[in-house]
């Protein structure tokens, strides 16, 4: 077992996962980064380089969170190499759009497989290894769309609601084990990540919020206007994830939703 703490992050190659990895590295953690991308992909390689620039160590693993054998192997590789898993962040997720009555099986099944089943699979192995070592912190990422309905986001809402239910169930089970293992869930509003940097996301915002953005760049700039659309930056979520991962105060609760919404739930 190494002396440094170890964090495992799914969807670790870019977006929120990248920011989590870099900031955990600054705190002295070894980072285990799981992603669908190959570690040789320039985006994944850039994240590893950013971690190493902070003096950190990154173990980059290509793993499909929809695959039990791949996730089992990824967790085993991290455990065999480091002998500990202090924190697991179930960050990976996707978004797709469509009115409920228009959705096809493929869209629904993909969202369920990645967002909900993928988080369950991450939590499953996190819990197994943390129970073996006798402690740990599991942090799931949901959304404000896991707390309220959102037009054209049926697949996202159903999976993000499900993540909150999963979190509460696992937290209860872990509490009843008597071990100091905590499981909580972060629920952000819209975030400036590649997930939002698409024409499909801009179309969704335009049709549901009465906007007329021509690009995601214009959409992000709108917050400078009075009453403009508000986005979080990835660091905003990372700071809360770090607090849940590190602080003694965060051990005072488990199975809770931590909402970072810039007033979106008002």
Round to whole Å and give the CA distance between 23 and 53: 11
Q: How far apart are the first and last CA of the chain?
A: 46
Strands 181-188 and 136-141: parallel
Q: Determine whether 225 is exposed, middle or buried from the number of CB atoms within 10 Å of its CB (0-12, 13-18, 19+).
A: exposed
Laid out side by side, the sheet with 58-62 consists of 58-62, 30-35, 6-10, 87-90, 136-141, 181-188, 257-260
Round to whole Å and give the CA distance between 196 and 250: 30
Only one residue has tokens 């995601």, namely 216
Round to whole Å and give the CA distance between 119 and 69: 15
For this structure, is 201 an active site residue? no
Residue 257 to residues 21, 117, 188, Cα–Cα distance (Å): 22, 19, 10
Among residues 115, 230, 233, which one has the least CA distance to residue 165? 115
Other CB atoms within a 10 A radius of the CB of residue 73 amount to 13
Q: Which listed residue (125, 156, 182, 201) is catalytic?
A: 156
Round to whole Å and give the CA distance between 71 and 138: 16
Tokens linked to 246: 């590190």
Round to whole Å and give the CA distance between 79 and 72: 11
Q: What residues act catalytically?
A: 156
């Amino acid at each position: 077992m190494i002396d440094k703490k170890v964090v495992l992050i799914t969807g670790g190659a870019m977006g929120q996962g990248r920011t989590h990895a870099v900031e955990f590295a600054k705190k002295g953690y070894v980072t285990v980064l799981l992603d669908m991308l190959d570690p040789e992909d320039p985006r994944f390689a850039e994240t590893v380089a950013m971690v190493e620039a902070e003096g950190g160590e990154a173990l980059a693993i290509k793993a499909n969170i929809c695959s039990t054998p791949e996730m089992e192997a990824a967790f085993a590789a991290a455990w065999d190499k480091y002998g500990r898993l202090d924190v697991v962040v179930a960050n990976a997720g996707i978004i797709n759009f469509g009115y409920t009555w228009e959705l096809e099986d493929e869209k629904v099944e993909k969202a369920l497989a990645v967002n909900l089943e993928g988080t369950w699979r991450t939590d499953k192995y996190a819990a197994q290894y943390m129970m073996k070592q006798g402690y740990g912190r599991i942090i799931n990422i949901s959304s404000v769309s896991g707390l309220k309905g959102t037009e054209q986001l049926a697949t996202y809402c159903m999976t993000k609601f499900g993540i909150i239910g999963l979190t509460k169930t696992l937290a209860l089970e872990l509490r009843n084990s008597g071990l100091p293992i905590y499981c909580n869930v972060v629920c952000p509003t819209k975030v400036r990540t590649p997930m939002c940097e698409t024409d499909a996301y801009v179309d969704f915002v335009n049709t549901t919020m009465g906007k007329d953005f021509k690009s995601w760049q214009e959409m992000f700039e709108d917050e400078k206007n009075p009453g403009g659309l508000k986005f979080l930056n990835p660091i905003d979520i990372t700071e809360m994830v770090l607090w849940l991962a590190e602080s003694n105060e965060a051990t005072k609760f488990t199975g809770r939703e931590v909402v970072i919404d810039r007033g979106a739930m008002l």
